[in-house]
Amino acid sequence: MLRWLKNVGYLMFKELKSLFSDIVMIILTIYMFSVAIFLISNMGMTDVKNGSVAIIDYDQSTLSHRMRDALIMPYFKKVQEVSPKEIDREMDLGNYTFVAEFPPNYERDMLKGDNPQVQVLVDATAVTQAGIGSGYISQIFTQEVNEFMGNIGNIAAPIKVVNNVLYNPNHSSKWFMATTQNMTNLALLALMLVGSAIIREKERGTLEHLLVMPIGSSEIAMAKVFANGLVLLVISMLSIRFITVGALGAPIPTGQIALFGVGVLVFLFSIASLGIMLAVFAPTMPQFGLLCLPIYLIMNMLSGAQSPVENMPELAQQLTQFSPLTILVAYGQDVLFRGSGIDIVWPHLLKMAALGAVFLGVALAQFKSMLSKQG
């Protein structure tokens, strides 16, 4: 065992030296965990911001003005009042995403209990804003009507809804996007770095030098997993601390970051083992790229980082549970945002470790065959 560790340490040092000599890869790695995460988190928000709203107000009552004034920044731009003749052209030009039309005598009919309707036109070409923004407007208008009706004669509204928003009270999408982008970047770089290291050894013929040394395939494979995993673990933790928490203001305690690091460590073992397995099956670097990228894209789409796993078809939900990235995303959400402890998230760690063991077992079996062919 001591000899095995000594050999792994020697090969790990060799791998780190090779990795740090590649300046382009170092710059790319730093960029992906700093600038890229910051830009994507701020530019790719899924919540409504600066939505353009126009109002057609036939009523001009206290209630209609109150509902109009409730649409405030930063969710919506300053509301503009337009005439009915202008609205078709304005929406065709894309100047407004939402148009709310208050019918004549709206306040009077509401007080009489006739339940009048406010028509909201939505430009659905702005897909994200259209879907979420229309829900915002509906909630805001409903709240204003309930408060208005409750204030008339001090009559309480029939139902008072109290929402307690847990884990993300400000509905800030950038906190979630920063952490998920961190995890997906980890998956991509771990696959590429470890897999390309194996391919590079094959193409340069350096495996022949390894064959004459008293080392086994497990030592070669684990050295690459440990070396690349160590670098990615450090830069991922620094990114969470200084980009997600520092620059973006996510309220993540230091203890939860440490627990997340444990999950990242197990995940890197799992995904790096997958990278070795793919590299063993691919004889050249171009073929490895053609094999690696589709697998990564599928893992990313089904991971829950882009859309909830619950929204997927039942079969896809079952299959994606065999993806290390899906498990890490669920683990990260539990640890970083819900404050879960090891007593809750340990099944995620166990599943990632089991998948890594399977990938590594298959990779080592094929790796021995590849080494014998190289010899």
Q: Are 205 and 369 in contact (CB under 8 A)?
A: no
Average pLDDT of the chain, as a whole number? 84
Q: Are 349 and 262 in contact (CB under 8 A)?
A: yes
Q: Rounded to whole angstroms, how far apart are CA atoms 30 and 27?
A: 5
Q: Facing residues of 98 across strands? A: 53, 122
Query: Is beta strand 119-122 parallel, antiparallel or unpaired with respect to 98-102?
Result: antiparallel
For residue 316, the model assigns a pLDDT of 86
Task: Give the pLDDT mean for 343-360.
Answer: 94
Domain coordinates in residue numbering, the chain = 2-44+172-374, 53-154
Is residue 128 very low, low, confident or very high in pLDDT (cuts 50, 70, 90)? Answer: low
Task: Give the pLDDT mean for 231-254.
Answer: 92
Residues in Cβ contact with 257 at an 8 Å cutoff, skipping those fewer than 6 apart: 237, 240, 241, 245, 336
Torsion of CA 77, 79, 81, 84, to 10 degrees: 70
**Cα–Cα–Cα angle for 357, 358, 359, rounded to 5 degrees:** 95
The distance from CA 132 to its chain's CA centroid, rounded to whole angstroms, is: 18
For residue 151, the model assigns a pLDDT of 62
Single out the residue of 249, 293, 262 nearest to residue 275, CA to CA: 293
For residue 325, the model assigns a pLDDT of 94
Q: Rounded to whole angstroms, how far apart are CA atoms 168 and 250?
A: 9
Is residue 157 very low, low, confident or very high in pLDDT (cuts 50, 70, 90)? Answer: very low
Task: Give the pLDDT mean for 272-291.
Answer: 89
What is the reported pTM? 0.77
For residue 133, the model assigns a pLDDT of 80
DSSP-derived secondary structure letter, 76: B
Q: What is the CATH number of domain 53-154?
A: 3.40.1710.10
Phi-psi category of residue 323: left, alpha or beta, with phi > 0 → left and psi -120 to 50 → alpha: beta
Model pLDDT for residues 63-115, shown as the tens digit of each residue = 888 888 888 887 888 888 888 888 888 877 778 888 888 888 888 888 887 78
Model pLDDT for residues 28-71, shown as the tens digit of each residue = 999 999 999 999 888 755 667 778 888 888 888 888 888 888 88
Residue recorded with tokens 């498990």: 327
Model pLDDT for residues 315-325, shown as the tens digit of each residue = 888 889 899 99
Residue 216 or 208, more confident:
216
